[in-house]
Amino acid sequence: MKLSLNKFSKCLMAAVATALLAPSLASASHLVAHRGIFHDATDRWNLPENSFFAIQRAYDMGLKGVELDLRLSSDGQVMVTHDQIANRTTRDDFAGGNYNPIDGALSGRPPGAHWVDKDNAHHWQNTKLKVYGKNGQIVNWGADGDFSSYMQTLDGLLGYLNANRGDILRSRDFMIILDIQDPNILQKAGQIVQNWASRGARNSVYLKFFASKALFNDTRYNGADTCYQYAWHNHLNGLKIIPQINDGELTAYSNDPEAENDDRGIAAFQTWLSIPDFLGCWAGAQAQHNDNAAQMPIVSASVPWNDSNATKAAWEAINWARHNGRQTMSIVPNPDAGRREGGSCKYYTWQSTDPRAAGFNFNARQAKQNFVNSANPDYVIIDIMGDMNHSQWSSSLSDFQRDLCN
């Protein structure tokens, strides 16, 4: 399963892959593989998401990076997994190991949710991951004893990369982006990355955090020193951070619908901060303390469907980043799975807190695509469809629509 590519073939793959980008994506944007490259046009090449092999494939096929998701186990270990529940991703699904979220949605009889934080890390490290293929079917569970066939801790994954693909961990041109939605996870992940910093993690690992939800609210805002002190107390000093601005992180300046100021900002540090003030806090800390502060090279912003105030805030974040020497990032989803029903393919998205799959929202995707087309960010996090038989990949929605069912 491990790819062995010489320098020439890597360059060739990257060139071919670039030619396959969806025409609607901003041509200047570098692509980051959401959960690695685990989808494939042929079932035999599908992989577990958020796994070592999915990361390795993205690196070897010329992507700019991967975005991985983090959750906590019952004993407080940082696990690399997307959903808050384990029914979809693992065989410990309360249904004999064969539960499929699309079947649960169609039947209306899903099992109870199995929350990741109800079992310890040892349990999850010994529970096999599911691999999904065409028509939304489970195609395998990996080999016994294969590291990539089991859910891993963040520490274990970084250690495995260090031991087996140190070139990935040390790379200055490939990003391992950790998507973090909880302050406890941000703090713990910071400590773990610090432990691997001298072996390359300081180069490759970025902590992308939800601007409001992922911060403790025990510190009162007092300018740039607030972000400097917060970084030190939460193990972020010297590490690369990416604040994520999206609609779920935004709070109106006033709850009064008649108020003149209807701007959206960030509720953080026991106050309401405008987008420039929030980002300026982190930038100011870095300017005053250099490498001792958290490093903010990138700002990420995404938009929902049909929310002009949230879209305005996203543009504010992107414009601030450009005016202050930072790079920019956004997100575009593709469907997670397809299922042929009545002669046509219906497309689905997995849900983090519900065992059932939900219908894919094409309107929401188009809104994010339109934003990317207009903003032309430096990086776009997007689901990637591999094609190992032809040594290529694609981010195109049409290729996902073709390959998920056929």
Would you say domain 7-403 falls under CATH 3.40.50.450?
Answer: no
Main-chain dihedrals φ then ψ at residue 167, nearest 5 degrees = -65, -30
Which of these, 295, 289, 50, 279, lies nearest to 151 by C-alpha position?
A: 50
DSSP-derived secondary structure letter, 361: -
What pLDDT is attached to residue 273?
A: 97
Which of these, 165, 184, 187, lies nearest to 176 by C-alpha position?
A: 165
Tell me the pTM. Answer: 0.92
Residue with tokens 């360059």: 11
H/E stretch holding 385 reads: strand 385-387
Task: Decide: helix, strand or coil at residue 286.
Answer: helix
What pLDDT is attached to residue 141?
A: 80
Q: What residue spans define the domains of the chain? A: 7-403
What pLDDT is attached to residue 253?
A: 80
**Residues paired with 243 in a beta bridge:** 209
Under 8 Å between Cβ of 123 and 75: no
Buried-state track 51-84, b at ≥16 Cβ within 10 A, e below 16: bbbbbbbbbbbbbbbbbbbbbbbeeebbbbbbbb
The span from the CA of 327 to the CA of 194, in Å, is 23
The span from the CA of 238 to the CA of 202, in Å, is 8
Q: What is the pLDDT along the chain (406 residues), one digit of tens a residue?
A: 333 333 333 433 443 343 344 334 545 799 999 999 999 999 999 999 999 999 999 999 999 999 999 999 999 999 999 999 999 999 999 999 999 999 999 999 999 999 999 999 999 999 999 999 999 999 988 778 889 999 999 999 999 999 999 999 999 999 999 999 999 999 999 999 999 999 999 999 999 999 999 999 999 999 999 999 999 999 999 999 999 999 999 998 865 455 555 689 999 999 999 999 999 999 999 999 999 999 999 999 999 999 999 999 999 999 999 999 999 999 999 999 999 998 999 999 999 999 999 999 999 999 999 999 999 999 999 999 999 999 999 999 999 999 999 8
Amino acid at 324: N
DSSP-derived secondary structure letter, 80: E
The size of the chain, in residues, is 406
The two structure tokens encoding residue 279: 């980002």
What pLDDT is attached to residue 98?
A: 95
Amino acid at 166: G
